[in-house]
Amino acid sequence: MSSIRDYPERWEVVGSQEHFRGRIIRVRSDQVRMPGSDGPETVVRDVIDHPGSVGVLALDGADRVLLIRQYRHAPGYMLWEAPAGLRDVQGEPTWKTAERELLEEAGYRAARWHTLVDTFTSPGMSDERKRIFLARDLTEAPAEPGFQREHEEADMPVEWVPLDEAVAKVLAGDIHNPTAVVGILAASAARAGGFRDLRAPDAPEG
């Protein structure tokens, strides 16, 4: 069995300065002591603190992927995405967060949930951790009473795309959203293996 596996480690931080604290993220600079052949060296690393997020790759009985289109201001694009959201409810299991996002953003519930893939979205500068779930056995469902989409989410059309076509669109550069890209490719690989190696929705995060 291959020994290649990510594992947690924390090098010594000898100083830290916060530059920005916003509604969702915090930006700081850490002074990190780096090991080296000539002795330790201290360097500065900028870090974005993020609460984490979840994504949902919803796959129906015809092997079609659910995608939603959403405006993203930072890159200035309308992107086709998988439903996703922040881990912003204290103590809520991640798959329950994903369940809520699938309902609120796309209007669907799923009877079968599995952990599909875990990622750090941009580990060179952010600690954001994202877990993407595979949701199957889908049914349309109304949103919770009183819930109303607003801002970028007010107009998010839903499209069902055959999984093979979605893979082709990823490789052609037509789909850019990282949750959609990773989820689509992981779902294709999982299907090729008969979905045998999928983890439980509450599998521990390494």
d(CA 91, CA 141): 25
Contact 97, 129 (CB under 8 A): no
Tokens of 119: 């990622």
Pairing mode, if any, of strands 158-162 and 64-72?
antiparallel
Contact 190, 112 (CB under 8 A): no
**Nearest partner of 158 among 55, 56, 85, 68, judged by Cα:** 68
Q: Which residue has the tokens 């922040």?
A: 86
DSSP state of 164: H
Asked if 92 is an active-site residue, the reply is no
Tokens of 162: 């055959």
Catalytic residue among 153, 159, 165, 205: 153
The catalytic residues are 153
